[in-house]
Amino acid sequence: MPHTTRRILLGTAAAAGLNLPSIVKAQGKEAIKIGSALPLTGSQAGYGKDFDTSMRMGAKDVNDAGGIAGRPVEIVALDTQAEPQLGINAANRFIGVDKMPMFYVSWSAVVKAVAPIANREKVLAINNGANSPEIATLGDYVYTTFPLADVDITKLAKYMYGPLGKRRAAVLYINNDTGIDAAKIYRDTFTQAGGEVVAFEAYDPKATEFTGMLLKTRAANPDTVHIHGLTADTPQVIAQMRQLGMTQRISSYSAAYNPKLLEQIGPAAEGLIVTSLAPGLNDNKNVQKLLDEWKAAQNRVPNGLPYNQYQYDMVWLTKALYEYLDKKSVAPSGDSLREALLTIKEFDLPMTGKMIIDGHRVNKPVYLLTVDKGAFVPLATLT
Amino acid sequence: MLDPVILAQILWTGIATSAPYVLMTAAFALTLKVTGLWNFAQAGLMAIAFYTMFFVIDALGLPLVFALLAGVVVTAAASLLIEIYGLQVFRDRGSGSLTFFIFTLILSEFIIYVLTLLFGTEPETLFKSILSPVTIIGNIAVSDWDELAVTTAIIGMAALYVFLTWTREGQFMNAVADNARLAELYGISAKRAWRVTAVVAALFVVAAMYLIGTHGGVVPNSPLELIITAVIGTLLGGIGRVFAASAAAVFLGLLQSFSILIIASRWQNLLLYGVLFAAILLFPRGVRMPRWRLILAGR
């Protein structure tokens, strides 16, 4: 662990240091603060800390490119531990103390928790990592730049039924905001396509033993299993599934697109299908730049690369919104930034490519990857 | 679901997964038996045991044997320190049971907080891979981890029985457990018995955390959740009955495993709390099994 701790410390220092020269370069004007509510500690910190680092890399690059309308960017990241209450604290701090007109937030439960505050205070809250479909219905000031589960899970379920010819699916999901809605979408889409969902099982977020649930699933005789969990539990579910002799092809979503998962379960991951909502190296050459920055700062690839691409891009999105208002000489506020988001509508972002805001949703291609010989390789692109 | 193979698999996996709980319950119940204290500092010791082994393997890159050795030495030392400079101080002051309860609970929280600062809060496993090779025995999947867990629990409990029954230290611990003042009148040092108990409990804690840390992810806060099973097992088994408490831990593991036959899997963990309430309300002195010797003797 001290390896990790040292890496984290160095990485954080490096990430903080990354901003210094560029901020200095950015003319001594008052910085534009970008609020980011992420789990920097807790069970989801493996992702949250990496997201923060990627967003800071985006800030550095924006600052190096002259900042936003000549002003430097400063990331203000607050820890949510992926817990709603801490998310509320963070939102109150962004709005009440830092007087920010907009902020970014991830993790479905946290986005839902902060939505009433954003709506009440008329501050723009942008989801940039959570995928609960409910996020599209959280109110006038809550928008998403990250495709919700109905985008990738719908396309994935159709792909499993169509090109892969699966007819009997089992759906295993974590019993929280991340799992419940997405599992229902998979079940409904697969059923509507003509397939049968033969097992539909939720497990406790704190569970570590899944044998009973898996035996129940095995008895239902599925020909594919969709697992919608988090980084801590998904590897254990897959490992125990394989140990019980279940050889069905497994699908999951972007949270399982994680190199640590391959380390943890090795050969048990072979054939696993995951989704990615951002273009990979083959589709977007800019991604190599992000990976190079990660290599230089942390000597590794980030956990959940596609999510990190979105985090990086959010600084560029902020730049586009603020510069739009600057040209029109309109002061940034929750209302004016929302207006800018909906008016510009189409953004060309460096890491995730073209993004079209479609009301409270965003539509993007879905990139499927599968594990082959211990590595994630492209499987299909679903538009 | 009522296929005999499935039932046998649930039975086997339930037994195997309850093995670490058996060990941590034995440690908790033994401490309660000999010292008369609900020692929640055990959660902190569990965290120390895991992260010591993790540090040796992950950071120092040393083989498992060194990790286990370090785990035993550090955890036993921490356990002794708590006994000598914590619990004994309160005993000397004549502190009430509430003081011990608060001290041990806060101490665990403190240890966990420090470990969180040192190691972060990502789930960690002792080895990078959590996949354990599997052998099919009579259509039942038996993993190497299952075998190790069950064997460790059996050997651990057998060794504890031998220690408590056949060694002088063990007999002294029993005497102190029965009546510390009376034992001292016979020249038995209660302090020594308590310290030996602290070391023995530490050994069981290390064994339990090794098994847990090789089966799934552990975060610094995990022991506070894990120890609930030890508390319930101790309540069900009855205070002072170490082996009954450990058997209760197996019962809890099987109850959770078989509950999948009648309830959805998401309710399985909630079941533990239901049993905890039932144990406190209905069996405050533990579940008493029939005394077969008396029954057979017609009494």
A150-276+366-382 topology per CATH: Rossmann fold (3.40.50)
Domain count, chain B: 1
Mean pLDDT to the nearest integer, B226-252: 91
**pLDDT value at A16 more than 50:** no
User: To probe the interface with A, which of B3, B125, B131, B273 has the most A CB atoms within 10 Å?
Assistant: B131
Per-residue confidence (pLDDT) for residue B217, from 0 to 100 = 83
Of the pLDDT bands very low, low, confident and very high (cuts 50, 70, 90), residue A207 is: confident
Number of other CB atoms surrounding residue A371 within 10 Å:
24
Domain map (residue ranges) of chain A:
2-147+283-351, 150-276+366-382
Which residues lie closer than 8 Å to B171 by C-beta, 6 or more apart? B164, B165
Q: How far is CA B206 from the centre of its chain?
A: 9
Kindly indicate the confidence band of residue A158, based on its pLDDT and cuts at 50, 70 and 90: very high
Residue that the structure tokens 């007999």 belong to: B171
Using CB atoms, pick whichever of B54, B265, B270 lies closest to residue A212.
Answer: B265
Structure tokens at A176: 């929280």
Residues 39-98 of A with CB under 8 A from B: 41-43, 45-46, 81
pLDDT at A77 over 60: yes
Rounded to an integer, what is the distance from CA A48 to the centroid of its chain? 9
CATH class for the domain made up of A2-147+283-351: alpha beta
- Residue A117's contacts (CB-CB under 8 Å, 6 or more residues apart) are A88, A91, A92, A95, A123, A125
What percentage of chain A reaches a pLDDT higher than 70? 93
- Give the residue carrying structure tokens 């195997």: B16
Does residue B234 lie within any of the structural domains? no
Identify the H or E element spanning A366.
strand A366-372
User: Which residues in chain B touch residue A41, judged by CB atoms under 8 angstroms apart?
Assistant: 116, 120-121
Tell me: pLDDT of A1 over 70: no
Helix runs in B36-96, H state only: 41-54, 64-82, 88-93
Whether residue B299 lies inside any domain: the answer is: no
The answer for residues whose C-beta is within 8 angstroms of residue B158's C-beta and 6 or more apart is none
Indicate if the pLDDT at residue A208 is higher than 60. yes
Say which residue, A214 or A149, is predicted with more confidence.
A214
Dihedral sign for Cα A278, A280, A281, A283, please.
negative
CA-CA distance, A110 to A135, in Å (whole number)? 10
Q: Decide if the complex's ipTM is over 0.90.
A: no
Q: Cβ separation of B131 and A45 shorter than 8 Å?
A: no
Whether B96 is in a domain gets the answer: yes
The predicted pLDDT at position A303 comes to 84
CA nearest neighbour of A105 among A119, A45, A88, A349: A88
Confidence check: pLDDT of A283 > 70: yes
The answer on pLDDT for A2 being more than 90 is no
Of A4, A206, A212, the CB nearest to B260: A212
Region of A27 on the Ramachandran plot (φ > 0 left; ψ -120 to 50 alpha; else beta): left
B4 touches chain A (CB under 8 A): no
DSSP A316-349: HHHHHHHHHHHHTT----HHHHHHHHHHH-EEEE
Q: Which of A45, A213, A232 sits opposite B265 (nearest CB)?
A: A213
Asked if the Cβ–Cβ distance from A211 to B13 is below 8 Å, we say yes
Q: What is the pTM of this model?
A: 0.75
Q: Distance (Å) from the C-alpha of residue B75 to the closest C-alpha of chain A?
A: 18
Rounded Cα distance between B278 and B295, Å, is 28
Helix residue ranges per DSSP H, chain A: 2-25, 45-64, 84-92, 108-121, 149-161, 177-193, 211-219, 234-243, 259-265, 286-298, 305-327, 334-344
- Tokens standing for residue B201: 């409990």
Burial of B50 (0-12, 13-18, 19+ CB in 10 A): buried
Q: What is the pLDDT of residue A336?
A: 97
Give yes or no for residue A117 having a pLDDT over 60. Answer: yes
Judge whether A2-147+283-351 and A150-276+366-382 match in fold: yes
Q: Under an 8 A CB cutoff, do B268 and A206 touch?
A: no
What residues 53-82 of chain B have any CB closer than 8 A to a CB of chain A?
54-55, 58-59
Residue B258 located in a structural domain: no
Q: B219 and A215: CB-CB below 8 Å?
A: no
pLDDT digits (tens, 9 = 90+) for B95-151: 998 999 999 999 999 999 899 888 877 788 899 888 888 888 888 889 999 999 999
Instruction: Give one word for B159, left, alpha or beta, with left for phi > 0 and alpha for psi -120 to 50.
Output: alpha
Q: Which domain holds residue B24?
A: 4-221
Q: Could you tell me if residue B293 is inside a domain?
A: no
Nearest C-alpha of chain B: how many angstroms from A382?
32
- Say what the pLDDT of residue A12 is: 47
**Confidence class of residue B258 from pLDDT cuts 50, 70 and 90?**
confident
- Interface contact flag, B257 A209, Cβ < 8 Å: yes
Nearest to A208 among B58, B118, B216 (CB): B216
3-state secondary structure of B126: coil
Q: What pLDDT is attached to residue A322?
A: 97
Q: Is the pLDDT confidence value at A29 over 80?
A: no
Give chain B positions within 8 Å (CB) of A209.
13, 17, 256-257
Distance (Å) from the alpha carbon of B272 to chain A's nearest alpha carbon = 12
pLDDT digits (tens, 9 = 90+) for A164-203: 999 999 999 999 877 898 999 999 999 999 999 999 999 9
Q: Can you give the pLDDT at residue A53?
A: 96
* Domain-embedded: residue B32: yes
Domain presence at residue B267? no
